[in-house]
Amino acid sequence: MPRYARHLAEHTIVNPFPGIVKLERRLGHAVPVRIGSNEGLAEPRSPLEAAFGPALAELARLYPDPYALALRERLAALNHCQPEEIIVDAGADSLILLALRLCVNPGDTVVCTAGSYPTFRYFAEGVGAQLREVPYQAHAGGLRPDWQSLVEAANAEQAALLYLANPDNPTGHLWPGEVVAQLRAALNPDTLLLLDEAYLDFAEPTERPADGPLPGVLRLRTLSKAYALAGARVGYALADVALIDKADQIRPQFTVSSWAQAAAHTVLADPDYAPALRAHTLALRQALAEALRARGRQPFASATNFVCVACADRAEAEGIQTRLLAAGVALHRPPHPAVGHLLRITAHPAALSEDVLAVLQKP
């Protein structure tokens, strides 16, 4: 079982404002009159009503369910687990920070791949962690996290947490479920495996880890990519009940707004929406990869909604990025020195324009 930060290990923290929904479920009946929450009044009518409609204005006026219980139930059904094994927060980024706050004391070591999703490092530094980075591993499909070296580093350092983006950002590589299982089995039992699966919806179903929580693992998911809710900030994580319960004790209460929860329910309730978006995205990814190959580039194998290409060096990658920015086109060049020669390009119709592809042409 992963260890918690010292101040949390033997201490239970009680939320003073568990919300109306929990109260209704405890009482077994609805509580429609809210004169204890000090919310804004419905009159005079909010200018939001004219701009966005009465439904959004009413959602904005009222405090959300801090535990997103109904959304947890829907997500649990989607992931073939129990609602108690799900936690909802304001995007995968907030969940990364939550995991660090849960398990890391100042001075503790955390381990990740050098150049992987930089927000992890950003938050790790903010909680006072000591960061140990492991280089990417070259392979026939491009670059991939070196899971065996990550485990060796984490075990040698008695790390509090090991972070693995799977599929990886920025390379797009996916380790299949059996490798994730091997990694967890080889890792010290008290080290948390933080498995960032933000792009997993775009991977082939046969290659994904099995649904549901995994022992000693906090699996991060998001509705930003395959459900197009990046602006709503809805993320969730899967883990065993004890881990979820402890994380819920330190999670900010009202991070996921009433509107964001309603938006999540709406897209999840449509059985055709996400599959259609995924199919459209994968077709664009394939077309983009082919267009890049036709122009001399060798995109990495990708299980995400983007492709990654390696330039000869950082200077070439920076030059391409600068030329496209001058034309009003933003693509991503990772900020870490170890991967500054990479370009990450979203599978998007604009990426297939001749003007963009001409700049990406290999010299």
Q: What are the residue ranges spanned by the domains of the chain?
A: 6-16+64-269, 20-62, 273-360
Judged by DSSP in three states, 292 sits in helix
Which helix (DSSP H) or strand (DSSP E) does residue 155 occupy? helix 147-157
Pair 163, 145: CB distance under 8 Å: no
Torsion region of 100: left, alpha or beta (phi above 0 gives left; psi -120 to 50 gives alpha): alpha
Residue 350: how many CB atoms within 10 A of its CB?
11
Instruction: Look at residue 362 in the predicted model and tell me its pLDDT.
Output: 95
Residue 15: closest CA among 75, 85, 65? 65
Per-residue pLDDT of the chain (363 residues; tens, 9 = 90+): 899 999 998 889 999 889 999 988 999 999 999 989 999 999 999 999 999 999 999 999 999 999 999 999 999 999 999 999 999 999 999 999 999 999 999 999 999 999 999 999 999 999 999 999 999 999 998 999 999 999 999 999 999 999 999 999 999 999 999 999 999 999 999 999 999 999 999 999 998 988 899 999 999 999 999 999 999 999 999 999 999 999 999 999 899 999 999 999 999 999 999 999 999 999 999 999 999 999 999 999 999 999 999 999 999 999 999 999 999 999 999 999 999 999 999 999 999 999 999 999 999
**CATH T-level topology, domain 273-360:** Aspartate Aminotransferase, domain 1 (3.90.1150)
Backbone dihedral angles phi then psi of residue 131, each to the nearest 5 degrees: -95, 130
Look up tokens 């938050």; give the residue.
123
Residue 180: closest CA among 193, 198, 199, 161? 193
Helix axes 258-269, 54-61, angle to 10 degrees: 130
Note if the bond before 44 is cis, omega within 30 degrees.
yes
HSE value, Cβ hemisphere, 13 Å, CA-based, for 75: 29
Let me know if 88 is exposed, middle or buried by CB neighbors in 10 A (0-12, 13-18, 19+): buried
Which helix (DSSP H) or strand (DSSP E) does residue 314 occupy? helix 314-326
Look up tokens 């979203």; give the residue.
346
Pair 8, 247: CB distance under 8 Å: no
Pair 19, 27: CB distance under 8 Å: no
Residue 132: closest CA among 161, 100, 94? 161
| CA 12 – CA 250 distance, rounded (Å) | 10
Instruction: Look at residue 79 in the predicted model and tell me its pLDDT.
Output: 95
Instruction: Look at residue 141 in the predicted model and tell me its pLDDT.
Output: 85
Q: How far is CA 77 from CA 24, 80, 230, 268, in A?
A: 22, 5, 22, 11
Instruction: Look at residue 331 in the predicted model and tell me its pLDDT.
Output: 96
Instruction: Look at residue 210 in the predicted model and tell me its pLDDT.
Output: 87
What does CATH list as the number for 6-16+64-269?
Answer: 3.40.640.10
Eight-class DSSP state of 200: G
CA 103 to chain centre: 18
